[in-house]
Amino acid sequence: MRIHLVNPNTTASMTEKIAAAARAVARPGTQIVPATSAMGPASIEGYYDDALALPGLLAAVDAAERSGVAAHVVACFDDTGVDAARTLARAPVVGIGEAGFHMASLIAHRFGVVTTLSRSIPVIEANLMRYGLDRRCSGVRASDVAVLELEDPASDAHARISAEIARAVREDKAEAVVLGCAGMADLARALADEHGVPVIDGVASAVALAEGLAALGLATSKAGAYAAPRAKPYIGLLAGFAPREAP
């Protein structure tokens, strides 16, 4: 099967990192098809970046859907544009934030989240409430590592993330920790060894769930919220995104 892995930001080096993490856990016979958004912010850090990342993300999902992929993985921990992508796609669309939370809830009574900047905490907390998993979360902590610092080998990002994991386990009583950024995907195994608790990468989690959904032959429901968008004119810069008649 072919799994479309889309990075909603425009940083190609991050796409390469998350694709490597996805391929490391994919089943034999699964092809990971990575894509970097062709327009939008270099990183997604807060509501403004999130909003302007959507057109590039949706264009990538639309193109991959037409190529016949089995599922889509949206590789932003904020689950940027996942609902909108589901209205475009019949194939399952899995966000790495939701995937990471669900995986953690299956192996720990209470899990923590360690993310990048403090401004990401409200977004993640809102998603946890929406998914009904806020009661299972011991807390969301910020390492105050900017997303693009994760691409710099000379930064002390690993140490700062590790310090917050230690606090989550010691102070918040987290029994597992979810890494709150796709750019942390390559750190999960080493951090789990350091702290002696499961450290969960949302990219790997989403690939596993996407493969399972595709293997079960499950598609995105078009009965209500994720029905195809109604055809209508769009104007200005977004004219090319005007919905077409549903097939």
pTM, full prediction:
0.94
2-96+205-241 CATH = 3.40.50.12500
In whole angstroms, what is the distance from residue 229 CA to residue 222 CA?
10
Classify 97-202 by CATH class.
Answer: alpha beta
Domain ranges of the chain: 2-96+205-241, 97-202
pLDDT value at residue 234? 95
Do the domains spanning 2-96+205-241 and 97-202 agree at the CATH topology level?
A: yes
Q: Write out pLDDT tens, residues 30-86.
A: 999 999 999 999 999 999 999 999 999 999 999 999 999 999 999 999 999 999 999
Alpha-carbon distance of 247 to 64, in angstroms, equals 16
Asked whether 222 and 87 are in contact (CB, 8 A), the reply is no
Torsion sign over Cα 235, 236, 239, 241: negative
Q: Average pLDDT of 22-35?
A: 97
Burial of 166 (0-12, 13-18, 19+ CB in 10 A): middle
Which residues neighbour 230 within 8 Å (Cβ) at sequence distance 6 or greater? 243
Categorize the per-residue pLDDT at 153 as very low, low, confident or very high, splitting at 50, 70 and 90: confident
Q: pLDDT tens-digit profile of 206-246?
A: 999 999 999 999 999 999 999 999 999 999 999 999 998 65
Q: What is the pLDDT of residues 90-132, one digit of tens each?
A: 999 999 999 999 999 999 999 999 999 999 999 999 999 999 9
